[in-house]
Structure 1
């Protein structure tokens, strides 16, 4: 009689570890499609505005709060389910759903229909990141986790970059509707691949000193309370939330800024700026993860938080220059250095949070973090820029109101740096207490 993997769970563990590189690649590709389907709207905003006769405030709601409300709000119950159910299956179903809803965005004939389709994308994407974070943490030990999370986080820069490139090229030739439909459909095929080839790992598989238990699942409020009581986790969440607010604000409206204030066409943004973002963002993300792992091994885990803060200090002058110059070549140069320094925060931040989280609450901690990040960062960031741009319009004019709205958002960067510094201080204290 053949031996089943179900009767020998150690066989599943061996297979999960043997396939962990493939699993990481598929989860990263899933995140790539998540961010591409989410961010393709940025390159299309000006075309959609002209076609549907919308204001910047309406566009901001479309890119921000309407999506984020459902994406972030549903992340908590999905993560609760993921902490006790098969995470691979949740990811596959979610991917198929949001890909279908993305394609439906291209069929919208008015603002309400487009808004409802975007809400559907948010509902689907709610089931992706929390279980993915949990799986990666189970497959990679703490000394390799920041690098693994950094690779996973490449989905952000590559998804945003390729979404802009593909969306911009297709939109300039065939219109914005074809562009959205074209990026939505392939995700349905990827969902089948994820279901067939990703192996669900045992919880705590790569944490030799920590053993997962079968006790009752802690409540959602217990997970919130645990995170709030942990000073390092609290400051990390505040830091990454502020960073994401600035990031979502600038990436959602960056292509519009380039077109309005610097005279770029949709095609130029797609073929010049987007490839730079993808290449430099990849170097920054992977390099940042490796440096973070090295820093943790050399000085302790707290060094990862301080590293992110220092890199954000280095990026700030280039970010401001990008939004203040009127010279396109100077803007592109500043953008390169901004991306190089500023884009390495996600991998180390989520790795530190997963290292602090109890095994039974890893997906829940990730979901809580994403809830705060996306309600404030994704929800408020793009929406705030749209509102501010309309408010500044009578004083600055059409070309400059968006520029000053974006500079307003960037001014919050020192606040985020402060929280990364405080998180490092508290992580160092925790390490000294354990030692």
Structure 2
């Protein structure tokens, strides 16, 4: 499909001054790990080295973010926290400055060296992850998780913008899905390693060890990956004012619906994942204990392995297949990227509810894997749709706006909602049923997300027809 970016954004400077312009006939830059041509009509060279490195970075991102999930119960006991406070630490604290810093940092990513920015962000969130291990109170943990959020806010907008410059349009969903593979891989690593460390060295050492690899990789990244934009002409320094860029993006109703729909999808994912360890420890202690004893493992370590395998295998497979299949599904129209998301999220919604209500641990884990498979199939196509619609110099801003909604609606409110409802239901039904009923509610906003993606598909078709 022909890139219609210029037609959709006539008030911006010509795209021929931008390195990432897909219509440019200039030869591409040659970073150490290689880059694909920017011209979709030229021979395609998929930058596998770059994508593997970016996937590793995002894996550490989610490793440091999700390790808290398996550490909830020992942290709660040690620091004497309520489920509401756990919800605040798991989501609200992380999302507060992640959301506030996301847009300015994304704007910075649109006009600076993105490789250096990613390296710096990696170092910051790794340092604050290590600092989590030194906390002695709710307030201290809240502040350190805010610090982790600030560091991670500088990564994804710059990464998405950089990846989009490395790959042609028709491989974009696959490339972004490879990057998003960091979500299941990082979650797998965090759950497995966190569970083992929590049962052997304690939750503090789990944070110490989780943050260390990021500091090392932060030093390596600038030496093995180069910024394509550094070799651009001086004309590439022309940038769209923030207010004008926001106005252009937000006038596209399809973009607005995609952003809000992404937020409600994340509400369910983060609401469940933040309390997934607690769900099985509280709801299925006998089954978990019996299985752990038969394998000679501590229950927490076994649970980390089980949840990690579910997230890693099912989430990883869903992420990869979603990117791979949606690229083919969307060859005729980018609207099909959005339709693909609608189908995936609508299928996931009831599964998320059933995970909490299942009476057998094995059934619940199976449903957990199926729910993650369906939900993660939306990762590649939703970001591909956003990056394809956005004008080249606004790609960092576009993904930052989408991430802002993901964090405001999903990360900030999902875990907090489940924690508050768990405390409320516990006073009525007891601690076990209270948490189960609270988690079961996350299917409703996910269903709303699917409906909003369906409407966004119609809007993209209309906007394409109007721009033609």
- Tell me by how many angstroms 1:32 deviates: 0.9
Asked if the contact 1:22–1:198 (Cα under 8 Å) also holds between the matched residues in 2, the reply is no
In structure 2, stretches of 5+ residues that fail to align are 1-25, 37-45, 289-298
- Tell me by how many angstroms 1:89 deviates: 0.2
Given candidates 253, 278, 283, the residue that maps to 1:231 is 253
Asked if the contact 1:306–1:421 (Cα under 8 Å) also holds between the matched residues in 2, the reply is yes
- What secondary structure, in the 3-state scheme, does the structure 2 residue paired with 1:17 have? coil
Distance in 2 between residues matched to 1:203 and 1:375, nearest whole Å: 33
Alpha-carbon deviations, 1:105-152, whole Å to 9, x = none?
111122222222212111211110110010011111111000111111
Distance in 1 between residues matched to 2:452 and 2:338, nearest whole Å: 9
Does residue 106 of the first structure (1) align with residue 143 of the second (2)?
no
Asked if the contact 1:75–1:127 (Cα under 8 Å) also holds between the matched residues in 2, the reply is yes
Asked if the contact 2:91–2:416 (Cα under 8 Å) also holds between the matched residues in 1, the reply is yes
Partner of 1:285: 319
Deviates more, 1:322-331 or 1:221-230: 221-230
- Tell me by how many angstroms 1:231 deviates: 1.6
Distance in 2 between residues matched to 1:309 and 1:204, nearest whole Å: 39
- What secondary structure, in the 3-state scheme, does the structure 1 residue paired with 2:181 have? helix
Asked if the contact 1:61–1:383 (Cα under 8 Å) also holds between the matched residues in 2, the reply is yes
Distance in 2 between residues matched to 1:150 and 1:78, nearest whole Å: 22
Distance in 2 between residues matched to 1:38 and 1:14, nearest whole Å: 30
Q: CA RMSD in A?
A: 2.1
Given candidates 347, 353, 357, the residue that maps to 1:324 is 357
- Tell me by how many angstroms 1:12 deviates: 3.1
Partner of 2:29: 12
Partner of 2:271: 249
Structure 2 CA distance for partners of 1:212 and 1:224, relative to 1, 3 Å: farther
Report 1:15-54 matches (<5 A).
Answer: 16-17=34-35, 20-54=47-81
Report 1:336-347 matches (<5 A).
Answer: 336-347=369-380
Distance in 1 between residues matched to 2:100 and 2:231, nearest whole Å: 26
Partner of 1:4: none
Structure 2 CA distance for partners of 1:141 and 1:250, relative to 1, 3 Å: same
Partner of 1:361: 394
Report 1:239-318 matches (<5 A).
Answer: 239-263=261-285, 264=288, 265-297=299-331, 299-318=332-351
Structure 2 CA distance for partners of 1:144 and 1:151, relative to 1, 3 Å: same
- What secondary structure, in the 3-state scheme, does the structure 1 residue paired with 2:359 have? coil
Partner of 2:453: 420
Distance in 2 between residues matched to 1:50 and 1:108, nearest whole Å: 14
Does residue 175 of the first structure (1) align with residue 202 of the second (2)?
yes
Does residue 402 of the first structure (1) align with residue 402 of the second (2)?
no
Number of equivalent positions: 421
Asked if the contact 1:212–1:359 (Cα under 8 Å) also holds between the matched residues in 2, the reply is no
TM value normalised by structure 2:
0.86
- Tell me by how many angstroms 1:316 deviates: 2.8
Asked if the contact 2:89–2:145 (Cα under 8 Å) also holds between the matched residues in 1, the reply is yes
- What secondary structure, in the 3-state scheme, does the structure 1 residue paired with 2:413 have? helix
Partner of 2:182: 155
Distance in 2 between residues matched to 1:141 and 1:233, nearest whole Å: 21
Report 1:72-111 matches (<5 A).
Answer: 72-111=99-138
Deviates more, 1:253-262 or 1:142-151: 253-262
- What secondary structure, in the 3-state scheme, does the structure 2 residue paired with 1:84 have? coil
Distance in 1 between residues matched to 2:406 and 2:463, nearest whole Å: 25
Asked if the contact 1:70–1:123 (Cα under 8 Å) also holds between the matched residues in 2, the reply is yes
Alpha-carbon deviations, 1:386-407, whole Å to 9, x = none?
1111111111211111111111
Partner of 1:3: none
- What secondary structure, in the 3-state scheme, does the structure 2 residue paired with 1:44 have? helix
- Tell me by how many angstroms 1:315 deviates: 2.5
TM value normalised by structure 1:
0.92
Partner of 1:142: 169
- Tell me by how many angstroms 1:380 deviates: 1.1
- What secondary structure, in the 3-state scheme, does the structure 1 residue paired with 2:275 have? helix
Deviates more, 1:216-225 or 1:274-283: 216-225
- What secondary structure, in the 3-state scheme, does the structure 2 residue paired with 1:12 have? coil
Alpha-carbon deviations, 1:402-435, whole Å to 9, x = none?
1111112222122101111111112222333444
Deviates more, 1:134-143 or 1:309-318: 309-318
Alpha-carbon deviations, 1:179-232, whole Å to 9, x = none?
111111110011112111111123999xxxxx9964742232222222221121
Distance in 2 between residues matched to 1:57 and 1:290, nearest whole Å: 39
- Tell me by how many angstroms 1:377 deviates: 1.1
Structure 2 CA distance for partners of 1:427 and 1:380, relative to 1, 3 Å: same
